[in-house]
Structure 1
Amino acid sequence: MTEQSAADTTGQIPTNLRLLMLLEEVARVGVPVTPSAVNETLGLPKPTIHRLFATAEAEGFLQRDIDGRSYSPGRRMRLLATNTLSSERVRTVRLSILKALATKIGETCNIAIPERDGMYYLDRVETHWPLRIQMPIGTQVPFHCTASGKMYLSTLRTDYLDRLLQNGSFEKKTDRTITDSKELREALAVTRTQGYATDDEEFMQGMSAVAVPILDDRGRLLATLSVHAPRPRSNLTDLIGHLHDLQRAALELGAMAGH
């Protein structure tokens, strides 16, 4: 009998599983959560749950939210998730889907994940065309003026989005960049309704992009899948014409992430 099954049958969590199950529960909930809320699931002694949270925070796996009571994934936990997604076996299958999509569309395709200050390029397959936009794996791009970033922002809970729009600084990258919080909110509402996001030369002059969400089995955004291209070759309308292919690939990627 495994330690996990022992926990299921006895109702007690083995000591060496407690911290792991705490982190798993914080990740599962997906929003900042208090120790007492997590303990409704774990059922540990109150001093134990608070000690585990203190340890996870001290080691960088959790970070305290602005209210001082709630916790969310810290840098080490986010890095753990990124490294897991980048493991060789998972990445091989993911890249095969991405390569097939890039070949069919004929433009560069990217997978990006949200980080604290922007979207992080996790994977990328370049177009074969000599004229291309160089943004290698590991590049971080802003939320407010990229297709992937706006896709992510559109999925945020209203109260979190309100905080970001009230306190965020939105740098003007081109003449088309939305820097007004009211306009950005309206653009995100459109994104939420249509299910995809666009970047019409808002991040970089002469570049258009379209992004769709990669969702987990609970409908939460795991990452974004996007295609971008220089306007002399493909304008925004051209890229939106590939929306069905993007959405189908995103479904495959989401299903793969659940296994």
Structure 2
Amino acid sequence: MDDESRNAPMFNQSVEKGLAILAAFGSRNRRMSLSQIADTVGITRSSAQRIVFTLETLGYVTKDPHTRRYELANKVMEIGCNYLEANALIDSANPFLSAFNSNCDETVSLTEPCGTTMTYVASFTSRKHIVAHMAIGSRMPMYCTAAGRAYLSGLPEDEIRALLAESDLTPLTPHTLLDIDAITASVLEARARGYSTNFEEYYLGHLNVGAPVLNNSGRAIAAVHVVAPSSRWTRDDVIGRLAPMVLECAQSITNAVRAH
């Protein structure tokens, strides 16, 4: 969000702070004291106290009476569930994702863009051992993932570079590409062949291939990707066997989206 929008008369800072408090909880901050909440969000303790009291009253956070620490209540899931239930793309994609998952018996997912990240909105998990599980709502960066590069491949080059410039280019593994020109070249190559790859750039042991879902204007709106553990797949097998499958799945979802 730019400063101009944040300083607009219609912008409500209390709502912003309330959402920031909810977003501050996670695997690293499962339970927090009032002071910790204030420090994490960057607001005063008195402001945090008023907002947390409101969130607690509404049922979005709960407080342990003994430790006096707060944690998220399951009511926050209502908002996410409402989004998933109202998302026509997910309804269109699920049959094709399920079929893809059955054909390859690996984890197949649909992600949508959110800033410089991709958010998991649907996933069919492999019945075999998986290295890591990404829950619905989890995010991953665009710059070093097959899903992110697949999505970027469906955008104009100036937008690709702008999103990469905004990204926190962190070396997540020894294989992570960090040079914007090199990443852009990888994205443009993905555009030319129809699918993107990520070989252990985001997570060691993961070989990924993805393809974009396009709207009627030919612009990417989401991405399909499959995770192939290196213990079961070689790079050549990923490209030779899984890439055609992910292309077919993404194209089927694209056709379904365009038909609505």
Alignment TM-score, normalising by the size of structure 1: 0.63
Whole-angstrom distance in 1 between the partners of 2:87 and 2:153: 31
Q: Secondary structure at the match of 1:145?
A: coil
Tell me the matched-pair count.
186
Question: Which one-letter code corresponds to 1:146 in the other structure?
Answer: T
In 1, Cα distance between equivalents of 2:85 and 2:157: 31
1:160 counterpart = 2:159? yes
Q: CA deviation at 1:86?
A: 3.9
- Cα-to-partner distance string for 1:184-217 (whole Å, 9 max, x where unaligned): 1222221222121101000001111000011112
Match of residue 119 from structure 1: 118
For residue 141 of structure 1, report the CA deviation from its aligned partner: 0.1
Structure 1 residues 166, 140: closer, same or farther in 2, change over 3 A?
Answer: closer
The unaligned stretches of length 5 or more in structure 2 are 1-7, 14-78
- Percent identity of equivalent pairs: 26
Residue 242 of structure 1 corresponds to 242
3-state SS, counterpart of residue 97 of structure 1: helix
Aligned to 1:200: 199
Task: Give yes or no for contact 1:118–1:143 (8 Å, CA) kept in 2.
Answer: yes
Q: What pairs up with 1:90-101 in 2 under 5 angstroms?
A: 91-101=90-100
Change (3 A) 1:252 1:113: same
Runs of 5+ unmatched residues, structure 1: 1-53, 61-79
Offset from partner CA, 1:102-157 (integer Å, 9 cap, x none): 01011110000110130000100001103342111111001111001111223332
**Aligned residues: CA RMSD:** 2.8
Separation (CA, whole Å) in 1 of partners of 2:208 and 2:227: 4
1:185 to 2:184 alignment: yes
Q: Secondary structure at the match of 2:109?
A: strand
Name which of structure 1's ranges 222-231 and 164-173 shifts more when overlaid on structure 2.
164-173
Change in Cα spacing, 1:222 to 1:138, as seen in structure 2 (3 Å) is same
Correspondence for 2:223: 224
In structure 1, give the amino acid aligned to 2:255: A
The residue type paired with residue 246 of structure 1 is: V
Q: CA deviation at 1:234?
A: 1.5
Q: Which amino acid aligns with 1:236?
A: R
